[in-house]
A = this chain, B = another copy of it.
Amino acid sequence: MSMDYLALDEELDPEEYVICEYTVKSDLDIKTAGVRIAEEESTGTWTHPTTLSDDIFQRYGAKVTEAKNDKVRIGYPVIDFSGDIGGIPQILSIIAGNLFGLDSLEGVRLVNLEMPSKLVKNYPGPRFGLEGLRTILNRPKKPLVGTIVKPKIGLPPKEFADYVYQAGKGGLTNSKDDETLVDQDFCPLEDRVNCVSEKLDLLQEEGHQMIHAHNISTNAHEILDAADIALENGARQLMVDVLTVGFPGLQALAEDPSVDVPIHVHRAMHGAITKNPDHGISMPVIAKLVRMAGGDALHTGTYGAGKMHADISEELFSKEVLLGEEHDLKKVMPVSSGGLHPGLVQELMDVSGKDVQIQAGGGVSGHPDGVMAGAKALTQAVDAVCSGIGLREYAKEHTELKKALDKWM
């Protein structure tokens, strides 16, 4: 067969190919492994189809342009992604589809993705992004400070909104629903948004700007209806779980002109796909797709602080994906969340810098003196680090921070 998917060292035009990097764990030599992926995901299969002409191979076949150590670089012709129907589901079906099931590859991980501008322009990108969030919150430089209302489920709407109010009085700029709360009988979306909006109005009257991300993760064909309910009741931010809902749900929100508030993107279930270092899809690739699909803020990790598993180099790469140049897309606010508390803020900000939303749920509501004190402690910790003052030093004159450090450090 003259059809060779290997094109080592060929320079591909980045406007004509979707270029992916994979790491592979396999008994096959790395070139063969690359070819297995390229053929499976473009014009080939395990045996030569009599219906595959040389012309079709030349036009639509993928190319393996690098195959060294455990890494392959594969270019998929942009025409393979053409047409009006498909979207991110189709992109995933090609670059992250059947290949994960191939028996000949023990593990394969999609670690990077470069998209041609002509494809990216079909996607909305963030409407607000990092700068938009800073403008809304009137907080130009310091990290945003947020909380997740805890317990995750169980609070009725009034108590829920009171939590938000306490957090705002403590100085937080952001709060959010947890990922398992949507519209349960004990806290229906409509009532919850109503109660929270009232408290956010009150905070505004009192001179403090704050937004809350309401979780409307649901069936994607119904997500715009859920957004309507939230927006009609005064929602200032929406939250969507991009992996359980699917990218299309996020994109539908971002593309709808009536959704005139920022979208906070949670990533429940990502660990099923991202955690195994030898297999799956890396978080930076998911982050690129979220930025294309229109997320304004995205959970990307805590750089090893907190309760969640972290691959630091991937988390740094995710940060770069959200904050670096990426076609003409606005920057996305990275969200650090998961087991954080005031005592971890220095360690976190040493890596994150100031372009980050620092969120604590238990690390606010678990404060010995309650939510407002917890919110103050978190705000104080961020102020301390922004002023270059040590946390313990700052705590001498800030009792809320002191109590938090005493409990958790």
CA distance A247 to B72 in the complex (A): 31
List of B residues within 8 angstroms of A51 by Cβ: 149-151, 155, 159, 163, 365, 370-371
Contact: A221 with B218, CB < 8 Å? no
Contact: A362 with B45, CB < 8 Å? yes
Contact: A86 with B218, CB < 8 Å? yes
CA distance A146 to B226 in the complex (A): 40
* Nearest Cβ on chain B to A5's Cβ, whole angstroms: 12
Contact: A309 with B87, CB < 8 Å? no
Residue interface bits A247-261, CB-to-B below 8 A is 1, else 0: 111011000000000
CA distance A258 to B41 in the complex (A): 32
Interface status of A339 (Cβ within 8 A of chain B): yes
Given A93-B268, A220-B249, A269-B92: A101 and B309 interface contact (C-beta under 8 Å): yes
List of B residues within 8 angstroms of A149 by Cβ: 51
CA distance A304 to B84 in the complex (A): 37
Residue interface bits A261-280, CB-to-B below 8 A is 1, else 0: 00000001111110110011
Given A92-B269, A362-B47, A365-B51: A275 and B100 interface contact (C-beta under 8 Å): yes
Contact: B244 with A220, CB < 8 Å? no
* Nearest Cβ on chain B to A107's Cβ, whole angstroms: 8
A residues 175-226 in Cβ contact with B at 8 Å: 179-180, 182-186, 188-189, 216-224, 226
Closest B residue to A186 using CB positions: B79
Contact: A180 with B94, CB < 8 Å? yes
Contact: B273 with A56, CB < 8 Å? no
Interface status of A59 (Cβ within 8 A of chain B): yes
List of B residues within 8 angstroms of A370 by Cβ: 50-51
CA distance A44 to B361 in the complex (A): 10
Interface status of A161 (Cβ within 8 A of chain B): no
A residues 15-73 in Cβ contact with B at 8 Å: 41-53, 56-57, 59-60
Given A92-B269, A99-B271: A86 and B217 interface contact (C-beta under 8 Å): yes
Contact: A97 with B268, CB < 8 Å? yes
Interface status of A409 (Cβ within 8 A of chain B): no
Interface status of A341 (Cβ within 8 A of chain B): yes
List of B residues within 8 angstroms of A390 by Cβ: none
CA distance A219 to B247 in the complex (A): 8
Contact: B80 with A184, CB < 8 Å? yes
Contact: A276 with B273, CB < 8 Å? no
Q: Spell out A's residues near B (CB within 8 Å).
A: 41-53, 56-57, 59-60, 79-90, 92-94, 96-104, 107, 149-155, 159, 163, 179-180, 182-186, 188-189, 216-224, 226, 229, 241, 244-249, 251-252, 268-273, 275-276, 279-281, 306-310, 338-339, 341, 361-363, 365-368, 370-371, 408
Further contacts, 15 of them, CB under 8 A, given A56-B155, A102-B308: A45-B151, A48-B366, A50-B371, A51-B370, A56-B153, A79-B185, A80-B180, A82-B185, A87-B222, A89-B249, A101-B338, A102-B271, A244-B246, A246-B248, A275-B279
A–B complex contacts, Cβ < 8 Å, 8 sampled = A49-B150, A50-B365, A50-B366, A51-B149, A51-B370, A52-B365, A83-B189, A90-B244
